Chain A
Amino acid sequence: MAEYSQTNRSDRRFRSLLESLNAGVVIHDANTQIVEFNSKALEILGLTKEQITGKTAFDPHWHFIDENHQILSVDEYPVNRVLETGKRLPATLFGICTENCTSVTWVSVSGSPIKNPDGAVEEILISFIDITKRIETQKNLRESEERFRMIFESLPKLSVQGYNKDREVIYWNKASEEIYGYSKEQALGRKLEELIIPDNLKEDVIRDVSNWMDHGLKIPSSELELKRADGTPLPVFSNHIMLETPEGERELYCIDIDLTNLKLTEEKLRENEERYRSIIAVSNTGAWEYNLENEYLWTSPEYFTMLGYSPDDFNYDFETGISVWQQLMHPEDRDSASRRFLDYLSGEMKDPYENYFRMVHRDGSTRWIWSRGQNLKNPDGSPTKIVLGTHIDITKSKNAEEELKQREAYLSSLLKTIPDLTFVLSRDGTYLDYHADESNLLLSPQQFLGKKVSDVMPQEIANLQMEAIEQAISGRKLVEFRYSIPEEDEIHHYNVRVVAFGLERVIAMITDITDSVRNLNQIKELLKKEEEQNLRLVNFTHIVSHNLRTHTANMLGLISLTEMETPEVFEHEYLRLIKESSSHLEETISHLNQVLDINLEMGENMTEIRLKPVLDAIIQNLALQAKRSGVTIRNEIPDDLHVRAVPAYLDSILLNMLTNAIKFRSDQRDSYVRIYQKITGSEVVLSFEDNGLGIDLDRHGSKLFGMYKTFHGKKDSKGLGLFISRYQVEAMGGRIEVSSKPGVGTTFHIYLPL
């Protein structure tokens, strides 16, 4: 204490210095007993003067813990460490814990040995600063940082990357690994532009980053297309933050959101919309949307283009409402269609809206529009204020429908004008429907509708009907049959025509042909009588002609015999006249026979005949007669001309034509007859041209080819020849014409089918 007194003044200075310190100070002696302390030490340690005085390092009341909350042994206490090492203890973190360690006071402890001149440690100075608050704050910060780090790490699809000023990766979260395909290990330390920046962006990125680092020019958030480890592009939305470390280093953090799915969805949406739009465009469908609340009408361009307009043709915005629609509407439909739409809107709008009306195309034509709409529903199914709908141009089908209606009306009125009975029957023979004046029905409709033919008609007729139904359906053709049925006093005849429509039904049209059958029967009977009469007449004619011929033949025979035996008697004129008359009689009868022999249905006896040789033969036969009469005959028919004819008729016609020309030659000039041909279409024309007497056609034309007409007053003319020729030509399907001029000549034209 003496010493203490001696040093009283410095001691007081020292003491006040101790007290003024913001740090706790404790001085231990070499036995670790506390010999000096200041009040700050008491405060920090939570001890009183009495509690601390004389204490050694070991004290069961409290103990030191390390930063990891491990209780330290006495040897590890700062005083013992200094004592043991004899060296300074730099500021070290310790926790001071009393009793149960419910609360910890964190202190930064430094220690210094105070040595005597021998170098032995005499005293130990321990100073400590309460840093509990700082430690707590640091811990909280660390925890929060850890939490954020965890969040960053675990953010799915949210890539967080940190870069230093050299653009080297200092942070790479899990999402970055997933999104960019580089593991954390691969990424750390590598440059931004080496990893995820595509070539075309590299320069920009390097420039932008250094501008931000050096000049504070912020990189704005944006959509970018970056690059994955495998080189594939990656759409991202990229945010950038610049952070500054306590050391003043700038770090760039990028937070990238993977847009791949979003892009895909967007694309899909666009695709869908495009598809929808193209469907609309192709199908000539206009879309509309009506908002009840503000009475806005939205329409797609097709709404107008389908009517030949452009949307720009209308000074039109949402607010014009449905007036655009009404404006384009056909005047006749305007009121009713509008009413219908407004009725729908004012109702519950549970069912879809549907309406047909006409709108007027720009070209003035009327278009039938099929409008359909539907209320947009809330998720809970309640109606919203929006109705969506479409306009479809159904003009074509509507026109077809109208046409069908008109046709139906036409057919039905046509049907009504037919006095027939018409039944619709199913394939199994059931009467399905009928059309008839009921007075024409034998049974009331109730008696046959729904019943089978076999239940209604006699078996034989039912069989015919069923057969006809089957034939009509399977053969797809009109099938006809007839039946007769006794009604009252007369047998009635019916003609049935059956046509199929579809595979299961037929229409049977039944015509009462009783009258025509009766008429036909009468005609048949008449015809039969006629035929009998005709046959009798033919026979009679044959007999007459034969008998006549017998006698003329005898007369001619007798005359020729007389000529042989007593030719001188013919010097008598009367006998000469008898001879001449007999010849004429013979010729007449011969002609009559030819007429009888012409069969008007000779078609099957027609053959192909080469004309020229036949004609030559006839000319040969007539050569003497022609020479005697001074007539030249010229055959100008080509060698290869063939005609279809009945040989006997052809002979007869050719002969007749030539003999006529010879007979009716003119004595005034050298006579000729030339035969030539011409082919016109499906006919061959044989012409016989002479320069004979000619015929006055004005007087005789209509009678020229009649029976027993003569036109020349020439003694040999008997006139039957042309009549026969005409009938023979006609029997072969041809015709004969004449052109003539009295005193000039005549040309006969014989037309024969090829």
Chain B
Amino acid sequence: MTRPAPTSSATLSTGPSIHFKGSFTFSTGPLFEDVSLRLGGGEWNCLLGPSGVGKSTILRLILGLQTDGHFDGEITADDGAALTNRVSYMAQSDLLLPWLNVLENTCLGARLRGQTPDTERAHSLLHRVGLGAHLDKRPASLSGGMRQRAALARTLVEDRDIVLLDEPFSALDAGTRADMQELAAKALWGKTVLLVTHDPAEAARLAHQIILLSSGGATTWPTPASPPIRDIHAPDTISCQAALLDHLRAGTAITNQTPQEGAR
């Protein structure tokens, strides 16, 4: 059975398409050359590939963060506006501040910028992610899943058009991970999402577009016909996941990474 996609009432905004094209070079040599990819606007785009191939570097470049090498290329949005202050980020680690409670952590962006936090909105989003009863708790007293939900609420409060997720569910147990995938997919519906992941099941379930990155460049991988969020038991989800895993295993087996690349 295919799960229905969230209705348009859940849509907060529609993100733009993003075009990424360019090469990246470390002082020791190129990380990737002439990689071209397009992130579908308002869609979940899952980026997979072996470790050290440059997935996190692409994510950092879109975020506008410092990298250790030189990027020669361009990153543009199809609406013509600059990406600055339009991208939010959620990492594998929840990055919650231990000295702030859940509500204060959720309003971190405003606190950092010296703005008055919109606590009403933060309240509402924390209820939406199931943390309504834990607003005053410190991160140390929360489970891993609850901490990631707080991190998700913090991402949602920023209300950016583009959301970059760097393996945000990889440290969670299988059940919590599945719950978080559904929660994030619903909460971020309508935004342009780039999810860096190593999990073919996650990509098969959530992606509108699957992008495979290898030393040869970026290619798209066919997604199941049914729309996300897909039923994990659906045959097309299972077959997509299995084929993707086979492909990644074959790619890993033939990839000769240098120690430096492997460390990134």
Report if A and B associate in a common complex: no
Q: B-side interface residues toward A, CB under 8 Å?
A: none
Which residues in A have some Cβ–Cβ distance to B below 8 Å? Answer: none
